[in-house]
Structure 1
Amino acid sequence: MKGQLEQKDIARFLKELRVTKGLTQQELADLLFCDIRQIRRYETNGTERLSVINLYASVFNISALGILTASAKGAFWFFIKAIGHFHSSRLIFKDGILFVS
């Protein structure tokens, strides 16, 4: 349940980014090369995928860490979850993008 709450924080922030930039969900979907239904899912449920966070960061010209930090406790939860999934990998933050190696 706790992870779901923080994902909701990420979802709210992703929507806030889009609305602040004056983009419709369809316009953002076009920029991210995905279906509008996927944008709706991200804005409703959030995401834990680094690739999605990095795409949003690129489109909105902010860092992936900025997205996670701005979404309250989302960054801490996200990194703990990522470390659990990639326990034998390293997380690298370079030029505003988070990489797993």
Structure 2
Amino acid sequence: MENAGNGDLCLFIEPYGEDFCLKPGEVFTVAPEAEGNDVWFSTVVWEGGITVWPYEDGDPTKTVLEYTVTDANGTRLECGHQRPPKSGGSDVAELG
């Protein structure tokens, strides 16, 4: 995934809802932990974000639960990477 826009882009990976925020020009790779899996992605793009469901063998009922997210240098990223700070007492971070 590449953020070719001018603002931050939030990537959500389901089924856990983990989030990773991309700055303009950044590239992240989502890949299964296990080698050799035929992984497909169901993707929803919305203003300010992308939601991805990885699944195996073209079967959306076979959700991939173990995956990695890495940056362009191959560094493994953790959930919440570059998440915007919470604002004004709200319990929800502003993502857009």
- TM-score where L is the length of structure 1: 0.26
Structure with greater helix percent: 1
Structure with greater strand percent: 2
